[in-house]
Chains A and B, each alone.
Chain A
Amino acid sequence: DIQMTQSPSTLSASVGERVTITCRASQSISHWLAWYQQKPGKAPKILIYRASNLASGVPSRFSGSGSGTEFTLTISSLQPDDFATYYCQQFDNFPWTFGQGSKVEIK
């Protein structure tokens, strides 16, 4: 199975800051990676698909990059609505797997 490892697990940041979250795969997954945002008590919401494609309706301050085994999610200017937990997920091979999550907290 492909293991997905995110870093950091928790991140404290201020409104307006640039934030980067990293996701590493235990083997190459090409560009078959998605990023999701989840707020407490809510279902996840897709942000990025195929590593770098912005999902419909997602603000342009979110961006994704990477291929192979290393990927990043960047929020160019953190907004109050962005404080949440973020997950990466590979869909290169079954079983699909998620990273453990990265919580973005208010500094």
Chain B
Amino acid sequence: EVHLEESGGGLVQPGESLRLSCAASGFSFRSYVMTWVRQAPGKGLEWVSAITGGSGFTYYADSVKGRFTISRDNSKTTLFLQINSLRAEDTAVYYCAKVGLGDDFSYNGMDVWGQGTTVTVSS
């Protein structure tokens, strides 16, 4: 069974750092683009970052560029999100998701999601 499980969230003070993890199982992790999506309380979904499978190319939303770093360890089938200089507006549930691939290797949307981990930034 394909499964994603996030961890690492918590209550932190403004300016602090946090590292989120997403443990993957049940699929060939290294073959897939992985992504982070967040949702602030009562708000919609916001795409945060993505990383390609083998080459590890990274992409970021403008709102997090320079503060967030996405990475992956294919040997441990784990995705990471390093968040620095946390701000109140980073308070959200953070989801990791697997990006589906078609037979032609183009993207098929985010087909598997974790349950999310909550980050609260408050003094």
Which residues of B lie under 8 Å from residue A99 when comparing CB positions?
44
| B-binding residues in A (CB < 8 A) | 1, 32, 34, 36, 38, 43-46, 48-50, 53, 55-56, 85, 87, 89, 91, 94-101
B32-55 interface (Cβ within 8 A of A): 35, 37, 44-47, 50
A-B contacts counted at CB < 8 A amount to 69
Which residues of A lie under 8 Å from residue B100 when comparing CB positions?
46, 49
Is there an interface contact between B44 and A101, defined as CB atoms closer than 8 Å? yes
How far is A89 from B110 in the complex, measured between Cα atoms in Å? 10
Is there an interface contact between B61 and A87, defined as CB atoms closer than 8 Å? no
Picked from A32, A43, A97, A101, the residue with its CB within 8 Å of the CB of B107 is A32
CB-CB nearest in chain B for A100: B44
> With A94-B50, A101-B44 in contact, do A43 and B115 touch (Cβ < 8 Å)?
yes
